[in-house]
Structure 1
Amino acid sequence: MNILSKFSRAIAFSAGLGAALALSACGELPASEEAYGPSADGVDLRGSTIGGEFELTSNKGEKVKWSDFDGQYRLIYFGFTSCPDICPTDVQRFTMGLSRFEEAHPDLAGKVQPIFVSIDPARDTIEALDQFVNAFHPRLIGLTGSEEEIAAVVAAFGGSATKLPPDETGWYNMQHTTLTYLFAPDGSPLGIIPTDKQAEGVAAELERWVR
């Protein structure tokens, strides 16, 4: 079954990056190479203070720290496995872009670690998270934790996540930031990857950053 057809409900969502970046989740990112650095498509986050150390649980049930990825570039996205459309679309785009980058630059392939952080720990069990990430990329890691742990990580990374009122069946949606961040091997923020530019744009953006 196609992963996108598996999540077919309508979704309400918004995006924000605090006062620093007022971005709409479905709008185009600002595009100025002079203003935002090495890319005409992405957003330069160098010098910002987002990110930081955390410890969460992986889709394999193992404890994982942010510092465990030291030495690797990190692509990180915050979403939830029962997301109807946006999350699987974004994750598919940035992982396909990563795969294209890996094919074109096999010597750099292992330098980029893709990460999916669940904002819905109540529903995203380790099993659900494992099934979700395995549908996209063999190296995609899923992370979850307690509601308090997730809230702290989302806030530290400049995002937002809010549970919406459930419908008559009890199903609820999540309103959340839908940005794909790129961090440097030392854990500092580099930029926002333009998933709206499809896999080709993602791969091109990685080529500008990863060395």
Structure 2
Amino acid sequence: MKRGAMTYLAKFRRPFALAAIALACSIPLASCGKSGGEAPPLEGAEIGGPFTLVDKAGKPHTWDSFKGQWRIVYFGYTFCPDACPMDVQAMMRGFSLFEKEHTKAAEKVQPIFITIDPARDTPEIVGQWTAAFGPRLLGLTGSAAQVKQAADAFAVYYKKGEATPGGYLMDHSRIAFLMDPDGEPIAMLPVDKGPEAVAAELAKWVS
């Protein structure tokens, strides 16, 4: 498991850390709840919370702006050479597959990309980058303090990394969170397993 994922999992309350780790490692869980008797893997985890960020047009968005919508939330940065593009591509292709099979349910889902590199990721740059993955992906940025507030709310790890000829890199968690219409955490989407796996996980929970 990536260091970033271990960092954010360590911040969970212990009873819910086991569920998150089990999901990440594909360990079956026996439990009762949603989706045919199975409880959401991240149910009760302390993930998500207030923030204020802006989109490509400079329009403010708060966490409450998305109330009533399912949300897919990914933290990354546009200058990322490989990890972020691969993850977001799998996330959005998976969402597109889900949308084709579950059109009405998909209308209630808002995919969100939040930068962890606000020094370089201006609203315009974030908007151009997210547009490459489809019109439904909303890109958000803000001041360093605003981004930190959002990352802290999701227990996301990020840190400025090594310098390269093309500019510095960012070390960060690689997780796509699925949140319900009340803003509660449901699951981590398996972007590492490809679009089909992402679509299947969305179909499992979103209705």
TM-score range, shorter chain: 0.7 to 0.9
2:54 to 42, 53, 57: 57
Q: In 1, are the aligned partners of 2:92 and 2:133 still within 8 Å (CA)?
A: yes
Amino acid at match of 1:141: L
Q: In 2, are the aligned partners of 1:46 and 1:188 still within 8 Å (CA)?
A: yes
Alignment of 1:22-33 (within 5 A): 29-33=25-29
Alignment of 1:4-153 (within 5 A): 14-15=4-5, 16-19=7-10, 20=12, 21=17, 29-34=25-30, 44-153=41-150
Structure 2, gaps ≥5 residues long: none
Identical aligned pairs, as a percentage?
42
Q: In 1, are the aligned partners of 2:76 and 2:115 still within 8 Å (CA)?
A: yes
2:203 aligned partner: 207
Q: Which moved more, 1:14-23 or 1:65-74?
A: 14-23
CA–CA separation in structure 2 for the residues paired with 1:156 and 1:29: 24
**Structure with greater helix share of residues:** 2
TM-score by length of structure 1 reads: 0.84
1:185 to 181, 185, 188: 181
TM-score by length of structure 2 reads: 0.86
Q: For the aligned residues, what is the CA RMSD? A: 2.5
Give the direction of change, closer, same or farther, for the CA distance of 1:148–1:101 in structure 2 (3 Å limit): same
What is the SS of the residue equivalent to 2:107?
A: helix
- 1:171, distance to aligned residue in structure 2 (A): 1.1
- 1:170, distance to aligned residue in structure 2 (A): 6.7
Q: In 2, are the aligned partners of 1:13 and 1:175 still within 8 Å (CA)?
A: no
Amino acid at match of 1:44: P
Residues 43-66 of structure 1 deviation map (CA, whole Å, 9 limit, x = unaligned): 711111111111101122110111
